[in-house]
Amino acid sequence: MNVLVTGQKWFGAEVFQALRALAGIRVMHVFAPADDRLRAAADRAGVPVSLAGTLCEASMPAQVDLIVAAHSHDFIGERTRLRATYGGIGYHPSLLPLHRGRDAVKWAVRMRERVTGGTVYRLSQQVDGGPILAQHHVLIRPDDSAEELWRRDLAPLGVRLLAETVALIAREGHIPGTAQDEELATWEPSLDTRPLHRPDLLMIGHNRPTPARRSARPIAEPPAASQPMSPEPIVLEPVFREPIARERVSLSVGAGAEALPAAVPDRVPAYDAMRQPALSDGAR
């Protein structure tokens, strides 16, 4: 079976080597960034390489049976996938449909979850939303960082699951997989990188609100209007509360604590529903 690998970094290179070690699998082409580990591995193996970000219907090599996305941030369109006999598969470091999005590992750690995992799924028009082909869980330790969790558990798991899935497709052909339950789906925004964007992309949350209990909203919804709609534009003026007199506040920290002036501004702006606190940088 002829396989095309698109990806990058350690994960892409390890997946490339794991697939080449499978009986009956030929990695015939690679798409990777310049000066990348995956590109270097392909060069050493004599496998043709194209630049990451250029994979499309026109650049798709002939006679590809399966596309394998291994840490690729490029959206692979439907016409490109249809050029491959069995379409495309990818790995996501979460228990899909939970934690869709580019920073799934960071969000699992930030939310202090104790169980996460990895999923191999069929690439589709919905980001991280295709049918599930393989899935396995791992435990998150109390002191784990996103980098530690990825390097120790999730990255090696992804290499193994992708290799096993490719071997299964080579033996049995097309695998339909299990559809993801959209009622359980969550999506979180990227913390420190630009989110994947394409005009033809069907993003999770476009047609219905994301469950608030699990997914972060980067922008708050504006308050509903309390008056009927009017063709005239509505101008919202800044609102301020009445001036607040400065007081002296006693801090009861211990015996003999002295009074300190309270740093209360003379004018306090009303709550602005469109302003949100910035997310601190996370680790990947």
SS (HEC) of 75-102: CCCHHHHHCCCCCEEEEECCCCCCCECC
Query: Which of 82, 58, 68 has its CA nearest to residue 29?
Result: 68
35's torsion region: left (phi>0), alpha (psi -120 to 50) or beta? left
The predicted-structure confidence for 94-142, as pLDDT tens digits, reads as follows 999 999 999 999 999 999 999 999 999 999 999 999 999 999 999 999 9
Q: What is the mean pLDDT of residues 62-91?
A: 95
The predicted-structure confidence for 195-253, as pLDDT tens digits, reads as follows 553 433 444 444 444 444 444 444 444 444 444 444 444 444 444 444 444 444 444 44
pLDDT band for 181, please (50, 70, 90 cuts). very high
User: Domains plus CATH for the chain?
Assistant: 1-219+240-250+262-284 (3.40.50.170)
